[in-house]
Chain A
């Protein structure tokens, strides 16, 4: 469709244009999912912030080393994987399939590094005696909110890894085109975006005073 035709179409948005938003149905679907998922995460983050402020002696177990340093490296991994994702989307738009797949695999590498580092963090806390319902500092809500928030996010990252793997395989077989890559990119950036809230709220508000 020529640009003029698109403009003619959007001129009749209010008459029921075929694509009033000028996005494909797959992209619109992913954006609607992101809107609803962001509300899920917001509810959890607000609930966490609420009990964080209302609790007088909230535990501050995160030392500069290893917890905060590791969490900062994890942030770096996710942000960098977002950049490689954007590069992958750009490459697939130019029709460079092999390059797009390479960038998708790099993105998955960043995501895998994130999950491995985060699981290591979890195991460290579990070894210290932090559970969903109890912990050494007698603020049960600490473990409950920490594991729920970071757990839900980690599920999203793990799902994203599978998603990107499927897309990369599909692109190499020629089953998927640019559109699918772009939509998977939206999901991946959203996972990155959510971590931008979890990192300061969960980690930086509980840094060890020492």
Chain B
């Protein structure tokens, strides 16, 4: 390769990708099921769905986007910064609960 970068990918076959696909579909099915069971309040439901979605996003990034096979220094420079900034947005959520509890009815 002219740019002088050797592929560092670990050897992996098609079956790995199909397994990731099956896991993603299974988590999606679980989410749809939970949505119909009404086991939790909206707040808890939001948290549960977000958690499952983060797992799905992790699977996609690690395997489909090959992050697992990139150099660690690249992943460490990229992912934590984005995660921290996105997490900071969550600082607004207590305020949304307050709106619900303290509004003039």
Contact = CB atoms under 8 A, between A and B. Distances in A.
Interface string B69-104: 011011001100110011001101101110110010
What size tier do the contact residues of chain B reach? 35 or more
Looking at B5, B31, B60, B99, the one whose CB has the most chain A CB atoms below 10 A away is B5
Contacts of A199: 28, 31
B74 A201 contact: no
Interface stretch (A80-88, A112-120, A121-129): A80-88
Interface in A44-63: 46, 49-54, 56
DSSP class of A's interface residues: helix, strand, loop or mixed? helix
A82 B60 contact: yes
Nearest to A83: B21
B6 A21 contact: no
A189 B61 CA distance: 8
Contacts of B60: 82, 189, 192-193, 196
B32 A72 contact: yes
Q: In the complex, which range does the number of interface residues on chain A fall in?
A: 35 or more
A18 B18 contact: no
A33 B89 CA distance: 19
A86 B49 contact: no
A54 B50 CA distance: 17
Contact of B17 (A22, A86, A196, A209): A86
Contact of A35 (B8, B71, B81): B81
Interface of B: 1, 3-8, 14, 17-18, 21, 24-25, 28, 31-32, 34-36, 38, 42-43, 45-46, 49-50, 52-53, 56-57, 60-61, 63-66, 70-71, 73-74, 77-78, 81-82, 85-86, 89-90, 92-93, 95-97, 99-100, 103
Interface of A: 1-3, 5-6, 10, 13, 18-25, 31, 35, 38-39, 42-43, 46, 49-54, 56, 64, 68, 72, 75-76, 79-80, 82-83, 85-87, 90, 93, 179, 182, 185-186, 189-190, 192-193, 196-197, 199-201, 203-205, 207, 209
